[in-house]
Amino acid sequence: MDNCLFCRIVNREIPSRIVYEDDLVLGFYDIQPKSPVHVLLIPKEHIGSFNELTRDHDRLMAHLTAHIPIVAEKLGIKNSGYRVVVNCGRDSGQEVAHLHYHILGGRPMENNFG
Ligand code: 5GP
Ligand code: ZN
């Protein structure tokens, strides 16, 4: 999608600090980190949110999800623990309409889901 921020990051039209990349997914540091370690893990394919998922995305989503602990290990937070957040739609506060996992770690977190 031409005007999608994260598609433009995938296409290198906007720079980012990449931590993991393969043919299907990209992991990069969040520009406004909410914890000492805050990485976004996205499918390279444009999917607006969980609400746009179809069964055609099953393999891609399994691949994406399986890479959460792989990225966490690379970031050094696999054993200390981390939180995975997905925002979907207006009430969640989703700002970028390209599906993404937030991977947050590097400090203890409260069980406050806002
Ligand atoms: P959302 O609120 O949609 O779940 O999360 C969007 C995230 O994208 C936010 O945490 C925000 O800081 C991050 N973000 C917004 N613009 C950019 C950018 O240009 N580069 C990077 N690396 N992250 C961004
Ligand atoms: Zn996109």
Tens digit of pLDDT for each residue in 31-79?
Answer: 999 999 999 999 999 999 999 999 999 999 999 999 999 999 999 999 9
Q: How far is the CA of 35 from the centre of ligand 2 (A)?
A: 24
The mean pLDDT of 91-110, rounded to a whole number, is 98
Say what the pLDDT of residue 2 is: 85
On whether the pTM is more than 0.75, the answer is: yes
Tens digit of pLDDT for each residue in 16-29?
Answer: 999 999 999 999 99
Q: How far is the CA of 25 from the centre of ligand 1 (A)?
A: 16
Quick one: three-class SS letters along 2-24? CCCHHHHHHCCCCCCCEEEECCC
46 occurs within a structural domain:
yes
Beta carbon of 101 within 6 Å of any ligand 1 atom: no
Say what the pLDDT of residue 24 is: 98
Report the half-sphere exposure of 62 (CA within 13 A, side-chain side): 4
14 occurs within a structural domain:
yes
68 occurs within a structural domain:
yes
Q: How far is the CA of 55 from the centre of ligand 1 (A)?
A: 27
Among 82, 96, 87, 95, residue whose Cα is nearest residue 114: 87
Beta carbon of 45 within 6 Å of any ligand 1 atom: no
Say what the pLDDT of residue 114 is: 84
63 occurs within a structural domain:
yes
110 occurs within a structural domain:
no
22 occurs within a structural domain:
yes
Which domain range does residue 13 map to?
5-105
Among 38, 42, 85, 39, residue whose Cα is nearest residue 61: 42
Q: Is the pLDDT of residue 8 over 90?
A: yes
Q: What is the CATH number of the domain that holds 85?
A: 3.30.428.10
Active site residue 100: yes
